Structure 1
């Protein structure tokens, strides 16, 4: 794939002091869109802009087109939806996710009872390694639209997952930073995360199958139209057209934005809890603080489109 070259008359600079304190502009909905009531379930907000529990929906039952439409509106508004006490099977979990599109097969993570299911069975031999902020499979040319995660077994304490609203992160960037990054593109690559587990021959084969992807640093959400900051420390390796040192400094500053608590929601899992998140609008972080307890989860991801 040919690279997109950035055109700037002067080097980019970033704030020298990193994140600053003070009031933050927090908007849950796109400008000009007003909140509307939900008729088919109750929404219990967990955060200001991101995260809500959905009450009154049983995922064992068929989801009608009307319910799916309203759930999608809630997903776009809250970015991640939580459902408790959902005694569903892996097949029912997949059926729910398929309402939003074709399911994705992950080439590097352990599978459950289907190629479309990723099974995370974490214990003292296999501790959690998802404890860094990331957007799922941003190294794909078409990253996942979203994912549905079901917790089967949870530790007595710990093992929470956090999500960050990357539209809020973009909204609160200084104006000069916004002007400088709009129009820039970045390279996303799986190599330094999943490649370390592969032999040299396997790595070359996977790099040929999944070449590094180039995505905009600022992504426009295909349904809401909101601008979201679309770089993450797991998979974004450099900004196209910038000198290495300049690229690294800018990326490190942008990576910090997901760490602002005002943009986050933290979910305490219970057995049979389900989370459904919009991977186009969020990043997430799985806290690895439950050693030596066990945590078992299954995830299915929905094929997305190419960021623009």
Structure 2
């Protein structure tokens, strides 16, 4: 495979160029891809297929697939895919600017008992402007903390929940003032399930050890966080 650093000044991330559907049928290629991902944290695929079938098959290289817990977001023809909806009229005002399809910093499915092991994103419809997607290296984030803070947080846990309404889930987002202008059309169905107890609160460790490497991970999702167990909001 044609492998390149994502950026010279970044401690994580690789690009894989020209990977095709035939290659990922080989066990050796699948294993190499998994090892690259575990080591690098982020892999960007360029110059290869970009369709739903390839996305699902590529995802299988990294583990058993998980169906998203919000049924309204599932792809109509393939339940292994979910659609990050940006064209259904939902609008958020972020620091005074109105945006469509905006999703703040988060870890996928952190509000469920079994969180995501990883995920693959594909741009299905490129917007005329915007569309930026960012990633955080949670291993480097942990390593960058002061020693005393690392000792303080190593054994702490965070309470997460999918809460009713949109903005309550944004309580601890840093440096962002977010207001809901117009909710997703499917929000009412989600609200009903929340009210019926369909998404009970869950607890996850604030720090965990990556089993393949022994490196510690800052397992914090600003979105969906409710509290640190045993501590007040402040």
Shorter-chain TM-score: what band?
0.7 to 0.9
1:120 aligned partner: 84
- How far residue 166 of structure 1 moved from its aligned partner, in angstroms, is 0.8
The count of residues paired between Structure 1 and Structure 2 equals 203
1:180 aligned partner: 152
2:135 aligned partner: 163
CA distance in 1, matches of 2:134, 2:21: 23
1:149-192: CA deviation from partner (whole Å, max 9, x where unpaired)? 11122123321111011111111111111111111111111125
1:79 aligned partner: 41
CA distance in 2, matches of 1:49, 1:211: 36
Checking the alignment, whether the CA contact within 8 Å between 1:185 and 1:239 is kept in structure 2 is yes
- How far residue 94 of structure 1 moved from its aligned partner, in angstroms, is 0.9
CA distance in 1, matches of 2:154, 2:213: 18
CA distance in 1, matches of 2:60, 2:230: 38
CA distance in 2, matches of 1:68, 1:48: 25
**Which 4+ residue blocks in structure 1 deviate beyond 3 angstroms?**
59-63, 192-196, 198-201
- How far residue 60 of structure 1 moved from its aligned partner, in angstroms, is 5.7
1:129 aligned partner: 102
- How far residue 137 of structure 1 moved from its aligned partner, in angstroms, is 0.8
CA distance in 2, matches of 1:66, 1:137: 30
Match of 2:62 among 100, 112, 115: 100
Is 1:222 matched up with 2:211?
yes
1:301 aligned partner: none
CA distance in 1, matches of 2:84, 2:107: 17
Checking the alignment, whether the CA contact within 8 Å between 1:104 and 1:116 is kept in structure 2 is yes
Is 1:44 matched up with 2:5?
yes
CA distance in 2, matches of 1:153, 1:118: 14
Checking the alignment, whether the CA contact within 8 Å between 1:193 and 1:235 is kept in structure 2 is no
TM-score by length of 1: 0.60
CA distance in 1, matches of 2:223, 2:123: 23
TM-score by length of 2: 0.77
